[in-house]
Structure 1
Amino acid sequence: MKAIDIIHNPFKNKGTAFTKEERKKLGLIGTLPSDVQTIEQQAKRVYDQYKIRPDGMQKRKFLMEVFNTNRTLFYYVLSHHIEELLPIVYDPVIAPAIEQYSEIFMLPQEAAFLSIDDTDEIEESLKNAADGRDIRLIVVTDAEGILGIGDWGTNGVNISVGKLMIYTAAAGIDPSQVLPVSLDVGTNNETLLNDPLYLGLKHKRVTGEKYYDMVDKFVKSARKLFPEVYIHFEDFGRDNATKILDKYRNDIPVFNDDVQGTGIVCLAGVLGALEISGQKLTDQKFLTFGAGTAGMGIANLLFKELKLQGLSDEEARKHFYLVDKQGLLFEDTEGLTPEQKPFVRKRSEFENSEELTDLEAIIKAVKPSVMIGTSTTPGAFTEGAIRAMAANTERPIIFPISNPTKLIEAMPNDLLKWTDGRALIATGIPVQATEYKGVNYEIGQANNALIYPGVGLGVLAAKAKLVSDEMISAAAHSLGGLVDTTKPGAAVLPPVKQIHTFTQTVAKAVCETAIKQGLADDSVKDAEAAIKAIKWEAKY
């Protein structure tokens, strides 16, 4: 490899940290300034430069320059400032970065771009993007259902890049072994279709058999080229997400963050809230406000957890109430999705079922103890609705997890005021501690980044054949005990700043469960040793 190629390869480049001996050996003499720096010195320069950028997008653009130049340095900086930088490299700044992707495009970040108009090139495209690397983890999206902003076509590849950044920063997944993938099947976003700079296919989304054939060809090609690869599906539309997950989950290790990741973190949050309140999961009534991909993923995971705790299918389903744009969902509600149908209610259960289209009226009729919002409807959790909920339960569990901030159903300070400090809260956005009547309330963030990196690390360490429901449950339960629930105002989830610690906890729980279930590779006997063996560190 030529000297110039080494400097331009982000996986090999060390920049000013190349030693004198390395410079001589690699033919780099004279191509760099004389001083040899440590990664700590380089990181200080990067962080100082980051701090002077004026806003989120400018800060992200600068960090992406480092990412494109030197992966080790990028992850060293990110891992040492993860609480501060997570919102910049991922949510919420990822949203405008997606929207402006085609306009600011410079480099493809080693992603694979697969076109539905050229499906014969899928295997070749994956092979070219991998460029000889041993790929163990793929995050793939068709970007139809990006939470909060919808359909963004090929621009949505940024979501795959961002997710993989968190995998490496939080869990130590080797960045040379990951591959972001974009499935370009067209877009229904008229803004993109009319934008001369848009880089994706300029036609409407292809659906039906041709679409599923492309997904299948991608999965088979990925497993052929990379036999041990773990595939993470991200931001697929509500009609496809669960269907695709269910097609492959019993054959190969796959994961859908919207269906499972959001569910795991919400289950973990509910379990954390119940540790504080001293109540049992099997005594709760769950109201899911927003019954799309994320909402149904949460309901399904809570349902499976109730079954693991001994309830029958019929008993477990009685605990759930789904609310979508039509109101409370009944058997005869028009437009029900396959995921919604098992959880709908009978109209005979209510005297005024025709009137149950308003959240406050629904709460008064249902009397839920847990309410989770994935509606992206700002302000939907009104004072009247929350006071109605608080009137029926001593410690209402309320998770407005829609993001970004402009789409949240309610802010924690209002929820505390309307429940007189009794609400147990998690949000989908980072929120500072909130003071109410002399108590400092820590607000847990129901951020998938708390969970999916650890799940992935555990799956990869185990060389797991599948990702089972028991492995998912173990991930959720593993966060218990990480928060002091006896402290007034305690959070229901651990803080993001502890992500390195609890990622290891989650990974160990997932790997151990895979071993117990016989889903791990025969060579994997010790979870801690297996995790340590594959963990990558940002160092030269």
Structure 2
Amino acid sequence: MNNAQAILKNPFINKGTAFSLAERQQLNLIGALPTAVQTIEEQAKQAYGQFQSKEQPLEKRIFLMNLFNTNRTLFYYLMGQHIVEFMPIVYDPVVAESIEQYNELFMQSQEAAFISIDDPDNVEASLKNAASGRDIRLVVVTDAEGILGMGDWGVNGVDIAIGKLMVYTAAAGVDPAQVLPVSIDAGTNNQKLLDDPLYLGNRHQRIYGKRYYELIDKFVAAVEKLFPESLLHFEDFGRSNAANILEKYQDKILTFNDDIQGTGIVVLAGVLGALNISHEKITDQKFLTFGAGTAGVGIAQQLMDELMRQGLSAAEARQHFYLVDKQGLLFEDTPDLTPGQKLFARSRSEFAASETLTDLAAAVKAVQPTVMIGTSTQPGAFTEAIIKEMAAHAKRPVIFPLSNPTRLAEAKAEDLIKWTAGRALVATGIPAADVEYNGVVYQIGQANNALMYPGVGFGAIAAAGKVINGETLSAASHALGGIVDATLPGAAVLPPVAKIQEFSQTIAEVVAQSIIEQGLSKEHLTDAKAAVAKAKWVPKY
């Protein structure tokens, strides 16, 4: 490949028709492009017109991915102009379609690293080859066993890591040349994939146990060696592995698990926002989580940590939480509890012997929660009867049906407002339209992890953090939860995605400040705002 073609095929340096005449002369691009020299604004207008001409969401995504593969700067300039419109296309929910059709749609790897459990000796080489000499500061890794609402999608799940990194850059300003998506291919238990002749991953059942953890250890060691200044973000690992990995590394390296911590802190921010509206104390709430997987337990842990920061002991804080899963309310003698579930399991002696509590309706009636969070992927689980039972015992019930995509949501925001006569304080896992009820327009917050992780991760990178601890995560939640004007009628409990760039900056500065104040910066920085401003990448030629 000659030099001109190499430049035009490198998305990190390619400007396409925006190369000036002088640059074309210097880089031997004369004749390799049409004569006209365009501005990035002209290119963006042209590209957006092409985007709008695509009718189906997946077609729109394929167009954007082609632009991403060709010219990163133009892609992020365009996404910055249309972030609300593009977020669901490049990430959730349309990413689900691209994962399901990954084998059929595959054109190129988007600079991802693919690590195979069947080839552990090449972990370091795989990372090195994919990075191709770039100064990597952010790694998003998935083994795609627990993609929320989808389950196990093997190597196809790499699109989750790629989409996550897009949001990091578009929302917070992480340099796209300094990021690396990684797929850990440990096999898959998805028989549909194993039977698919086009499947691109390892064709065997998922590997667990010693061999799996040895691969993770080798991977983490390689990341630390090759990219010592990077944040390692774990995404969509299965419930049997996610917490174990986080617990092993969270006090040793700069790492973050979005399903456990990210979901937890954005829900905490939503709860804090709701309580700003209701003027109630978090220590007076009773929390019921329906769906006790990685996300549900992570949410409970984050909320419990906050209660302890408010002065409760661990034992006192734990008494505020009730976890309900497919077996019903989780008790100490419930079989096969995970370590995280055991922390919140209740004693049967707390309830009458006649109360079996094997379903959500019975649990709500017995517990009388003031905050109910859904991470169950059970569509319609928050029925009118259940919501009215909850609302009978809570002045301003806080109800967050978070499962996504839309078809898996526990309830619709419109129904929750109607069933509680406008008293419910609602956040959903997917975008929801405003709800008009009795003359009031209720804005519905989206408890989307994207509200939180870009600012958290970018702030930690900018501050050269050694670790991300509970104090820093709490500071981020308070920053996000305090953004909305709680005095407005029908106010949302969380700020809108439309302002994600603005508040990601705020969160990044708060996170950087927390790391600096705790003495956790590798560089002994003193000015958080200056550190964030210095690290921020802006899409311009």
SS of 1:250's equivalent in the other structure is: coil
CA distance in 2, matches of 1:167, 1:522: 23
Quick check: 1:401–1:429 contact (8 Å CA) kept in 2? yes
What are the within-5 Å matches in structure 2 for residues 204-219 of structure 1?
Answer: 204-219=205-220
What are the within-5 Å matches in structure 2 for residues 229-378 of structure 1?
Answer: 229-352=230-353, 354-378=355-379
Aligned to 2:521: 520
Deviations 1:111-152 (A, max 9, x none): 000000000000001000000000000000000000000000
Give the drift of 1:100: 0.6
Aligned to 2:488: 487
Structure 1 segments (4+ residues) deviating >4 Å = none
CA distance in 2, matches of 1:182, 1:505: 31
CA distance in 2, matches of 1:69, 1:239: 38
Give the drift of 1:481: 3.1
TM-score with structure 2 setting the length: 0.99
Letter in 1 for 2:500: I
CA distance in 2, matches of 1:355, 1:382: 20
Aligned to 1:62: 63
Quick check: 2:516–2:524 contact (8 Å CA) kept in 1? no
Quick check: 1:167–1:453 contact (8 Å CA) kept in 2? yes
Aligned to 2:436: 435
Q: Indicate the percent of aligned positions where both proteins have the same amino acid.
A: 65
Aligned to 2:25: 24
TM-score with structure 1 setting the length: 0.99
Quick check: 1:347–1:353 contact (8 Å CA) kept in 2? no
Quick check: 1:138–1:230 contact (8 Å CA) kept in 2? yes
Aligned to 2:51: 50
Q: What stretches of structure 1 of length at least 5 have no aligned partner?
A: none
Deviates more, 1:482-491 or 1:163-172: 482-491
Give the drift of 1:352: 4.1
Give the drift of 1:280: 0.2
Aligned to 1:391: 392
CA distance in 2, matches of 1:503, 1:322: 31
Give the drift of 1:186: 0.3
Aligned length: 540
Aligned to 1:72: 73
Aligned to 1:469: 470
CA distance in 1, matches of 2:471, 2:483: 20
Letter in 2 for 1:91: D
CA distance in 2, matches of 1:461, 1:424: 35
CA distance in 1, matches of 2:278, 2:13: 51
Aligned to 1:106: 107
Quick check: 1:269–1:446 contact (8 Å CA) kept in 2? yes
Letter in 2 for 1:84: E
CA distance in 2, matches of 1:355, 1:448: 35
Backbone CA RMSD of aligned residues: 0.8
Aligned to 1:144: 145
Give the drift of 1:334: 1.1
Deviations 1:45-73 (A, max 9, x none): 11111011011100000000000000000
Letter in 2 for 1:162: G
CA distance in 2, matches of 1:477, 1:176: 31
CA distance in 1, matches of 2:263, 2:287: 15
Quick check: 2:141–2:233 contact (8 Å CA) kept in 1? yes
CA distance in 1, matches of 2:78, 2:416: 36
SS of 2:118's equivalent in the other structure is: helix
Deviations 1:167-214 (A, max 9, x none): 000000000000000000000000000000000000000110000000
CA distance in 1, matches of 2:123, 2:436: 54
Aligned to 2:460: 459
CA distance in 1, matches of 2:458, 2:105: 32
Give the drift of 1:96: 0.8
SS of 1:140's equivalent in the other structure is: strand
Residue 437 to residue 115, structure 1, CA distance change in 2 (3 Å)? same
Give the drift of 1:457: 0.9
Give the drift of 1:522: 3.4
